[in-house]
Chains A and B, each alone.
Chain A
């Protein structure tokens, strides 16, 4: 405890202030204006990168450079239906583990999502939103259906990471089973992007 006091505040000032540290290659690659790049997942069209497909590999780095913005998530019209405390359930549909680690990082003292009224639940029955990460593994189809059905209405479904959104480079998207209300790009999305998506989906500006 004394060590914690000596170390001082480690918690980010985000969202009041910009993020302190953003991993470059999880943000949107922007065309430098010359040169071409081949994308292993065909995420580039007319020099624009589709973040739903981008796997953050950086193979386009000769002609593209990341913009460093964490504002990457998009929501359909169903977003912004919660305004107070917000309980979320993490569902691993078939990840490499990295998305889970980044989502779980939101509970560490640096991000501390509880200061913003966001909490994890141990069961979907108590959740307002489900964060689905990973490709749609065959063995997780039924558990995902059950988990989403167990969520009380109103509810939000997040697709977190390139695998969940588009299947990435490994498999199928979760849209095979359920449509997502909010998509959070990145491979894996960095914790600031996930936090930003949660706040936006709650209606925070």
Chain B
């Protein structure tokens, strides 16, 4: 059994609700109780971030706000000056404690879109798939394909961002600038076709909220994919780039997810195993690399950009008519539903429960929580200059590591 293949159950440990997945280590996420979240980070602060003691060892505090980090997070790096002995992450400085319970689904949807701007279509699709299941809204295949299309475009944008940041960290400035120019090109395509660079306000109940232009998008995406392939072919010829990221932050744990798991040889992808969207019709391929290091994760993402372009081509051919969204403001929903998807960083699980016209519970196990733990697990033994390669290669978004009330 591969990690991430199935959720084995949801259980309470003490006062905490914990989702058990795969085998071995339970991963956690919290439901509704904001006060216990720091303890929940023991996966970072405990086993994998244990304080190393010895002659001349000191704590190098990095963050929560400093140059080099795109988001606010603090790391306590235990080192004697060059080698990282261990590391503890504190990502909750910027925890927004997003209030979900008691809100109407319309408000909850807007908040879900803003959990992680880069993953907005993934999380809005998860939320709406769950809500539509509770509300018996039917299952329009064209809508499913349209959501897949948006997700795969966002996946390409995120992978470009991760590989671009990796190139920047490895001092490959020409490649970095070319990749970010390419990402800008992609975001402008999204903007022109969907009205918003991060898909805010596009996804709706039973359809799309906005008129979108999908015609010929495959050609645009293949152009982006082709140009990226050309940049990558030069990048991988750079011994400096390869030497810097190869064998850094090697992590091969059974609880890995997403590109981190696939980069460590685990053939797992929840798009195939259990996504609420019709990926099963598309014959998609899973890309795997074996080494578990920063280079392997970049190789997986590189392959996934091409695979996403291929998926987009397939679904554009399948879409006949995307339905318009239905106004669900004030509508009564009763029930609960759990759904999952493969976000760019890995497996994401969302559970919602509604009573009357209000949210009763909201739960998201976001991939960045797991990837942050993977970073803490893998960075020990590396030198300080490897920090950037390890962190960026895992595509961690601190915004989605917070809790929900």
Contacts and interface: CB of A to CB of B under 8 A. Distances in A.
Interface of A: 1, 3-4, 10, 21-26, 38, 40, 55-59, 61, 89, 91-102, 104-105, 107-111, 120-123, 134-135, 137-140, 143-144, 147, 163, 168-171, 187-188, 190
For the residues of A in contact with B, the DSSP-based class is loop
A100 B117 CA distance: 10
A202 B265 CA distance: 52
Contacts of B114: 55, 96, 98, 163, 168-170, 187
A114 B116 CA distance: 28
B65 to A, nearest CB: 5
B134 interface: no
B209 A97 contact: no
A3 B96 CA distance: 43
Interface in B182-208: 183-185, 187-188, 191-192, 195-198, 200-201
B201 A4 contact: no
B241 to A, nearest CB: 15
Nearest to A102: B197
Contact of B399 (A61, A95, A108): A95
Given A92-B72, A137-B95, 18 more contacts: A1-B174, A3-B178, A3-B230, A4-B178, A26-B196, A56-B200, A57-B110, A92-B70, A97-B70, A98-B117, A108-B183, A139-B64, A143-B93, A169-B114, A170-B98, A187-B114, A188-B198, A190-B197
A140 B93 contact: yes
Contact of B110 (A40, A111, A120): A40
A61 B191 contact: no
Interface in B64-112: 64-68, 70-72, 92-98, 106-107, 110-111
Contacts of A89: 67
B72 A25 contact: no
Which among B67, B120, B161 has the highest number of chain A CB atoms within 10 Å? B67
Given A40-B106, A108-B177, A100 B200 contact: no
B117 A101 contact: yes
A104 B117 CA distance: 14
Interface in B377-405: 397-399
B195 A170 contact: no
Interface of B: 64-68, 70-72, 92-98, 106-107, 110-111, 114-118, 120, 161, 174, 177-178, 180-181, 183-185, 187-188, 191-192, 195-198, 200-201, 209-210, 230-231, 234, 329, 397-399
Contacts of B398: 97
A26 B183 CA distance: 19
A121 B67 contact: yes
Nearest to A95: B399
B201 A96 contact: no
A38 B120 CA distance: 22
B181 A10 contact: yes
A96 B178 contact: no
B61 to A, nearest CB: 12
A1 B106 CA distance: 48
Contacts of B192: 21
Contacts of A96: 114-117, 120, 399
